[in-house]
């Protein structure tokens, strides 16, 4: 026999004797999944993030990654697409005295691009709550978020927590939550004038909304904006006394001239709050947005008789949440001293502060808590301060007109539901 043929036959015989699998068995073995490997990930997982239980894997959903046992520890199951909220500001342990600027980022797109931020005291009671918008580069992606939570300072300083969470669109349950411990200062420790708007580093357009508290009632104050080229805009701000004896003020600063306003550059600018004697009380650095970073929206105001509407086109920062931004412009109020005489039927600062049903936890402005648009229905949920409108059928009708017509400019909105603290029944009654 040919030696080469003999060697080949001998090799095959040895393979069969050793139990080598048949061709079909080899195909079956190759079809089995390979043993799980330890997955490395660059995404941080915060130790204080809690989330609702994940559903069982189904078709089209990636199964969890099984991390093999190591050093005697039981295996750990981690979701391959964990929803992460990262809070950048406030920092843990920071002292808070009435207003919290909340900044951070997510790796996911929450429902309506909206998260919720709330401050809790040492006993777990909610002192303040507000929506925060995720400014994602595109729908379906994560991105940075920013918002402001206002609260009434407690009588004693204490350690609390600032929470940011995603609420389920189905039942309102918490989907994922992140929190940081903070020091909540007592009311007595909060002294001096607090400027709630504008905030340090805020991107601004005109009219610029100004909101402050802690001034002496009746104190003459002037707000001043100085652009990088030295152009200056000044406007006096009346201070209204609150039930706590503290002075509050709001203003919407704009050029109110018959001629064209002077040229002003984008970029760095300064906001200052000045006393009547020229003393600068507060100074805040702001960023004036260039025209290409803004967009125009319709904001609906009322004439002085509350019989007709007046529509202004106002510049806002470009955002996927354009309807939310338009509503917030409406809540800020019309430009002070505007030539058209436009006003608003929504509650004024003085009405909010003097409202008989005012509670201790109220602020001094109406806030938009949340706006959702589902199947053409826009649901706008406002804070309790909206109740201070004072009644009257003409005024109620105009408030509804202002809110509804501001929202109905957007193609995705066909119907508007108005809520106060989540309730739509019996709100805005004459």
Domain residue spans of the chain: 85-189, 192-289, 291-430
Q: Would you say residue 127 has pLDDT above 80?
A: yes
Q: Which superfamily, per CATH, for 192-289? A: Immunoglobulins (2.60.40.10)
Tell the residue number behind the tokens 């009708």, with chain if given.
397
CATH of domain 85-189: 2.60.40.2550
386 in the Ramachandran plot: left (φ > 0), alpha (ψ -120 to 50) or beta? alpha
What pairing do the DSSP bridges indicate for beta strands 221-227 and 208-215?
unpaired
pLDDT tens-digit readout, 49-84: 333 333 333 333 333 333 333 333 333 333 446 999
Task: Please classify residue 291 by burial: count the beta carbons closer than 10 Å to its beta carbon, then call 0-12 exposed, 13-18 middle and 19+ buried.
Answer: exposed
What's the token pair of residue 19?
């139990």
Q: With beta carbons less than 8 A apart as the criterion, state whether 96 and 183 touch.
A: yes
Tell the residue number behind the tokens 């152009």, with chain if given.
231
Give me the mean pLDDT over the 225-234 stretch: 96
Which pLDDT does position 187 carry in this prediction? 64
Which pLDDT does position 133 carry in this prediction? 87
Which pLDDT does position 81 carry in this prediction? 64
Largest CA distance in the chain: 119
Give me the mean pLDDT over the 117-146 stretch: 88
Q: Would you say residue 350 has pLDDT above 60?
A: yes
pLDDT tens-digit readout, 247-266: 999 999 999 887 888 999 99
Percentage of the residues of the chain whose pLDDT score is greater than 70: 80
Domains 85-189 and 192-289 share a fold: yes
Give me the mean pLDDT over the 398-426 stretch: 96
Q: How many C-beta atoms lie closer than 10 Å to residue 128's C-beta?
A: 21
Which pLDDT does position 138 carry in this prediction? 80
pTM (predicted TM-score)? 0.68
DSSP class of residue 312?
A: E
Q: Would you say residue 189 has pLDDT above 70?
A: no
Of the candidates 136, 90, 151, 194, the one whose C-alpha atom is nearest the C-alpha of residue 319 is 136
């Amino acid at each position: 026999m040919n030696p080469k043929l003999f060697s080949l036959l001998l090799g095959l015989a040895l393979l069969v004797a050793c139990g080598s699998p048949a061709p079909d068995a080899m195909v079956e073995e190759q079809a089995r999944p390979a043993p799980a490997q330890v997955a490395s990930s660059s995404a941080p997982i915060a130790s204080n993030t809690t989330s609702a239980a994940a559903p069982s894997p189904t078709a089209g959903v990636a199964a969890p990654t099984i991390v093999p046992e190591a050093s005697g520890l039981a295996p750990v199951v981690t979701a391959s697409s964990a929803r992460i909220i990262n809070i950048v500001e406030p920092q843990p342990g920071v002292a808070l005295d009435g207003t919290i600027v909340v900044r951070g980022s997510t790796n996911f797109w929450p429902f309506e691009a909206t998260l919720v931020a709330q401050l809790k005291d040492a006993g777990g009671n909610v002192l303040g709550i507000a929506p925060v918008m995720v400014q994602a580069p595109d729908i379906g992606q994560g991105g940075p978020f920013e918002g402001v939570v206002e609260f009434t300072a407690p009588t004693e300083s204490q350690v609390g927590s600032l929470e940011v969470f995603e609420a389920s669109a189905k039942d309102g349950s918490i989907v994922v939550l992140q929190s940081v411990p903070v020091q909540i200062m007592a009311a007595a420790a909060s002294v001096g004038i607090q400027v709630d708007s504008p905030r340090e580093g805020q991107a601004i357009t005109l009219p610029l909304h100004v909101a402050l508290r802690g001034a002496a009632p009746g104190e003459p104050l002037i707000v001043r904006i100085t652009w990088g080229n030295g152009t200056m805009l000044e406007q006096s701000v009346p201070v209204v006394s609150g039930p706590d004896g503290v002075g509050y003020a709001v203003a919407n600063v704009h050029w109110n001239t018959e001629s064209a306003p002077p040229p002003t550059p984008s970029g760095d600018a300064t906001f200052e709050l000045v006393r009547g004697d020229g003393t600068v009380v507060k100074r805040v650095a702001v960023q004036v947005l260039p025209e290409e970073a803004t967009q125009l929206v319709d904001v609906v105001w009322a004439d002085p008789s509350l019989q007709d509407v007046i529509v202004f086109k106002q510049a806002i920062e470009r955002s996927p949440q354009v309807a939310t931004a338009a509503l917030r412009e409406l809540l800020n109020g019309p430009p002070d001293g505007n030539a058209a005489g436009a006003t608003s039927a929504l509650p004024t600062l003085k009405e909010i502060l003097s409202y008989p049903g005012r509670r201790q936890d109220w602020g001094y402005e109406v806030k938009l808590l949340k706006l959702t648009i589902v199947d053409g229905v826009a649901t706008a949920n406002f804070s309790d301060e909206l109740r201070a409108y004072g009644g009257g059928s003409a005024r109620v009708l105009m408030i509804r007109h202002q809110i509804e017509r501001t929202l109905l400019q957007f193609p995705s909105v066909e119907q508007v539901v108005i809520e106060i603290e989540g309730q739509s029944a019996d709100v805005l009654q004459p």
